[in-house]
Amino acid sequence: MRRSAISAALVLGAILAAGAGARAAALYLVLAAIVAVAIAALSFFGELVEGSADAEAGAIYVGLSTLALVLLVLGAAVRSNTLADQAVPALGLSTLVAALVLLGVQLAVWSSLRLSRYRLVNARHRPAPDV
């Protein structure tokens, strides 16, 4: 999940930079986020194909990362075609926010699986190891 957290931090940084008016910094952060999300999506897919992915949500991680990647590429394409004196179209910011939401959903799924009641109860009733 560190891969997704880094990706989400880059997307959040791009949103904040866009809000502050630093267009060049926002574009470079979007490009860095594209690389980070692509690496995360490919590694999640590799784990899924290999069979070592999370049994409950391995495919969800792949799908959410892929959708976030598509949105980031679309947002970068919209941003890169604007002139210096023009405002970035609303689609440029909307795709970043949507990608951040998808990465947040991915983190929420991961957290809910780690903190599920069933796992907590099983961990509590597990016999202590003999020392």
Distances (CA, A) of 60 to 26, 81, 111: 28, 32, 13
Give φ, ψ of 61 to 5 degrees.
-60, -40
* pTM score, whole prediction: 0.79
Distances (CA, A) of 109 to 8, 27, 106, 114: 15, 29, 5, 9
In DSSP notation, 63-77 reads HHHHHHHHHHHHHHH
Residue 34 CB contacts under 8 Å (≥ 6 apart), including other chains: 69, 72, 73, 76
- Using one digit for the tens of pLDDT, what is the confidence trace for 31-82? 999 999 999 999 888 888 888 777 777 788 889 999 999 999 998 888 877 7
